Structure 1
Amino acid sequence: MKTTFYISLLLAGLHAVSHGQLPPNHRHGHDPNEPKHHMHHAGEAIACLKLVPNNADFAFQFFKEIILEVPNKNIFFSPVSISTAFAMLALGARSTTQTQILEGLSFNLTEIQEKEIQEGFHNLIHMLSHPESKVQLNMVNAIFLTEKLKPLKKFLDDAKALYQLEAFTTDFNNPREAEKQINDYVERKTHGKFSNLVKDMDPQTVMLLGSFVFFKGNWEKSFKPEHTEEREFFVDAETTVKVPMMHQTGRFDFYFDEDLLCTVVRLHYNGSATAFLVLPAKGKMKQLEQTLVKETIQEWSDHLFKRLLSLYFPKFSISGSYEITNMLRKMGIVDVFTDQADLSGITGTPDLKVSKVVHKASLDVDERGTEAAAATAAEIMTMSLPPAIEFNRPFLMLIFDRDTNSTLFIGKIVNPAIIN
């Protein structure tokens, strides 16, 4: 019987606040000819960007799995948080267990070596956490270990060097004290967003591995609170709810996908983050869910154009908590959850397995923006009313980092009136 190794993944709160635009040819991916404040190191950029297609494949494959587990409900998760935590776990995995983890993360090991993957994640964390950005994006990785468990020096050294891992000794024999220590740490690292991540811990737990992401972005141009009003949101054919609907008229990046029958509006945050808001035509959400891949996002990016719109977008807060072991099994990560697990790279002995994987995510969207600068600009509007785009039925929200092309968050908002 193997000792259980309890791994927990946590995404901390996203605070979204007010919109803006960039020139039409500015894609959500990084343009290598464009100077960036934290792209000086060409080697770092190349190592990081080599992961991008694989991480995107993982993001959309996981999205397809999670919508099967929780159909017709709000969904919000951070693929980059999940893939980072499992890449870190792969550091201590060996043989088939390691292969399954990396292939489950959508890596083709005939094309990229494990060392390149680890180096790529190291650079990704560094680039996403750059302090110069106007976007606040913090990635924190932590490990809590029982005193009796002696991890290999190489594992701890590598994890600290690659993932900025923080290590703590924890008395799991005293579950209440262990839970308090971990929850206090999580609350501090997530700026109070999650205060009760860990509860009812398995008494056999000897280790907890956590990956935390906190994102706070300001829209480039805020919605004015006085323009927010209650309007109807059509959850399904039988259900209508009232939601506070933000409103703004202006020129937006826009595209209508005639194949998938969905409207795409792109909003930018100050800094390097961008959001795609995707509104399927009535009855077309399932088709969009089943066919969404990274190439779809690229197609939208290539075809966006500026259009004068009257945009209505709900103000809402949702959160999700998922036990994702089953979804990962379906994606080929199997042995690590069984007695076949080989995590001997962590302790030197193959007596660990993962008992469960928890992923928590939270999303807040409102009008707030940065303080207005001391400048005045007048928008010239045409006399005719612009077309209205109203996000008043289930839609998707995808958030990317433009510099690294990373998929930070994926959300499906079915009912913005529910905080689930």
Structure 2
Amino acid sequence: MKPTFSLCLLLAALYTVAQCYQRPRYRSKQDDAKGTHYPGHSSQWEGAYPVKNKTFVKLVFSNTDFAFSFYKLVASEAMDQNIFFSPISISASFAMLALGAKSVTLTQILEGLAFNLKKTQELEIHDNFCQLLHMLNRSDSEFQLSLGNALFIEETLKPVQKFLDDVKHFYESEVFSSDFNNSVGAENQINSYIEEKTNGKIVKLVENLDPLTAMVLVNYVFFRAHWEKPFSTLYTKQEDFFVDQKTSVKVDMMYRKGHYRNYFDEELSCWLVQISYKGGVAALFVLPDEGKMKQVEDALLKKTVSKWEKFLQDRKIHLHIPKFSISGTYDVKKIVKQMGMTDLFTDQADLSGITEEPGLKVSKVIHKAVLNVHENGTEATGVTVKEVTWRSGDFPRPPRVRFNRPFLLLILDKFTHAVLFIGKIVNPQKND
């Protein structure tokens, strides 16, 4: 029997933590020493890219195109469900897989990732992914973003050395030997690795491994950050969240009055509020007017986000955001097949760059991401927040933006301009 290639992509876990600190802090001491700049207040799409390299810019743009295309395919089949995933994680995983692909299979992967192969060389793609991952993997005491890969290869299989060298060089992937004939042992090995890399947020992701599995590819992303302007638990109150015209649920609604970059898009009928984390990452909350969600989703494109960023202005608002924890699990295989990656999952797959054994194909793609939004980290219990007070002469009256109906969420890295996560919160009380 031909061996199968089980590709498991772990895209998890976003664990956002808002701590009670007064002053924004975007750079670590190490960054200051190196002269590294993380633009704390700059627009997500403004200013110079971190690399004066047109191919790096093209990589970011292609990743964004892929992110929104993937979202729209997920949303088309999950009309009334929460959505949450990490597009950059998916892109990195399939780009790494491309190192072992050849002929039509290779072309389908890279074009499926939204790359124009007439304008971008394959080596440039891997070089720039290498640089992107290096820039994303940064942390200090108040911020952590780590994204990585691992390969678990059947111990009887002989991988091509060039493939092993390339995945290590471009994607810093760890490689482990596994006995897939002992499927339970292999599952425990992989799940333990995943649990460790996601700080215990994802457990027992891989189950029911086929004993004929040849390789498992794991990709993980872990994000933990503190709000630049934390919410006070003193102002969190139970309020109604209107899932649809007939359904409402009770949620813990956080509240804060202060300066946020915001904008109301008249054309698309939606509010935009950008909430910054310490460390150069921002959450862009998008609140469509009632009945306008589909209109806003259809407009999710690079140019739309660029327009939003252009018009966002730092203004005072009354902000109401629900506390929520959601996770998303997806059949990535089914989705990317609709994006043109078809041969990869059939006997037509050419993965001879991974191993010279014939019949290698992708049989499984696992994707899971987790999101947790709240006022404080657990360490900050009991810490008070100094609130900004309003001056009586402030005019016009600040608008009140209440996220009490379905909304979208983009987590954006200001330094690399990458879209780290995309979500839609339809029901904050429903998790996966």
TM superposition score normalised by structure 1: 0.93
Q: CA deviation at 1:307?
A: 2.0
CA distance in structure 1 between the partners assigned to 2:297 and 2:384 by the alignment: 44
Q: How does 1:20-419 map to 2 (within 5 A)?
A: 26-29=42-45, 31-32=47-48, 39=50, 42=51, 48-131=56-139, 134-368=142-376, 379-382=389-392, 386-419=398-431
Give the partner amino acid of 2:272: V
Change (3 A) 1:300 1:382: farther
State the secondary structure of the residue aligned to 2:16: strand
Change (3 A) 1:30 1:193: farther
Q: Which deviates more from structure 2 when the two are superposed, residues 67-76 or residues 105-114?
A: 67-76
Change (3 A) 1:250 1:170: same
CA distance in structure 2 between the partners assigned to 1:376 and 1:320 by the alignment: 35
CA distance in structure 2 between the partners assigned to 1:151 and 1:89 by the alignment: 13
Q: Kindly indicate whether the alpha-carbon contact (under 8 Å) linking 1:47 and 1:119 is maintained by their aligned counterparts in 2.
A: no
Report Cα offsets for 1:352-403 as digits up to 9, x if no partner. 0000211001000000169799998964433676321100000000001011
Q: Kindly indicate whether the alpha-carbon contact (under 8 Å) linking 1:57 and 1:106 is maintained by their aligned counterparts in 2.
A: yes
Q: Kindly indicate whether the alpha-carbon contact (under 8 Å) linking 1:49 and 1:120 is maintained by their aligned counterparts in 2.
A: no
CA distance in structure 2 between the partners assigned to 1:387 and 1:78 by the alignment: 32
CA distance in structure 1 between the partners assigned to 2:211 and 2:47 by the alignment: 50
State the secondary structure of the residue aligned to 2:404: coil
Q: Kindly indicate whether the alpha-carbon contact (under 8 Å) linking 2:14 and 2:221 is maintained by their aligned counterparts in 1.
A: no
Change (3 A) 1:251 1:290: same
Root-mean-square deviation (Å):
2.5
Change (3 A) 1:133 1:161: farther
State the secondary structure of the residue aligned to 1:345: coil
Change (3 A) 1:170 1:30: farther
Q: Kindly indicate whether the alpha-carbon contact (under 8 Å) linking 2:15 and 2:222 is maintained by their aligned counterparts in 1.
A: no
CA distance in structure 1 between the partners assigned to 2:417 and 2:126 by the alignment: 18
Q: Kindly indicate whether the alpha-carbon contact (under 8 Å) linking 1:29 and 1:404 is maintained by their aligned counterparts in 2.
A: no
Report Cα offsets for 1:8-40 as digits up to 9, x if no partner. 11122212234999999821136228xxxxx5x
Gaps of 5+ in 1: 34-38
CA distance in structure 1 between the partners assigned to 2:387 and 2:231 by the alignment: 16
Q: CA deviation at 1:135?
A: 2.8
Give the partner amino acid of 1:27: S
Q: Kindly indicate whether the alpha-carbon contact (under 8 Å) linking 1:274 and 1:399 is maintained by their aligned counterparts in 2.
A: yes
CA distance in structure 2 between the partners assigned to 1:81 and 1:271 by the alignment: 19
State the secondary structure of the residue aligned to 1:347: coil
Q: Which deviates more from structure 2 when the two are superposed, residues 365-374 or residues 195-204?
A: 365-374
Change (3 A) 1:106 1:153: same
Q: CA deviation at 1:292?
A: 1.0
Change (3 A) 1:292 1:222: same
Q: CA deviation at 1:46?
A: 5.6
Gaps of 5+ in 2: 27-38
User: For this pair of structures, how many residues does the alignment match?
Assistant: 412
Report Cα offsets for 1:30-81 as digits up to 9, x if no partner. 6228xxxxx5xx56x6654331110000000000101122221000000000
Give the partner amino acid of 1:281: D
State the secondary structure of the residue aligned to 1:50: helix
Give the partner amino acid of 1:267: I
Report Cα offsets for 1:250-274 as digits up to 9, x if no partner. 1211111111110000111001111
Give the partner amino acid of 2:409: M
Q: Kindly indicate whether the alpha-carbon contact (under 8 Å) linking 1:24 and 1:253 is maintained by their aligned counterparts in 2.
A: no
Identity of aligned residues (%): 49
Change (3 A) 1:104 1:188: same
Q: Equivalent residue for 1:16?
A: 16
Change (3 A) 1:177 1:217: same
Q: CA deviation at 1:351?
A: 2.0
Q: Equivalent residue for 1:36?
A: none
CA distance in structure 2 between the partners assigned to 1:168 and 1:386 by the alignment: 56
TM superposition score normalised by structure 2: 0.90
CA distance in structure 1 between the partners assigned to 2:175 and 2:66 by the alignment: 28
State the secondary structure of the residue aligned to 1:310: strand
CA distance in structure 2 between the partners assigned to 1:47 and 1:128 by the alignment: 17
State the secondary structure of the residue aligned to 1:209: strand
Report Cα offsets for 1:130-164 as digits up to 9, x if no partner. 34595311112000011111101110011001111
CA distance in structure 1 between the partners assigned to 2:157 and 2:226 by the alignment: 43
CA distance in structure 2 between the partners assigned to 1:319 and 1:412 by the alignment: 11
State the secondary structure of the residue aligned to 2:7: strand
CA distance in structure 2 between the partners assigned to 1:266 and 1:414 by the alignment: 19
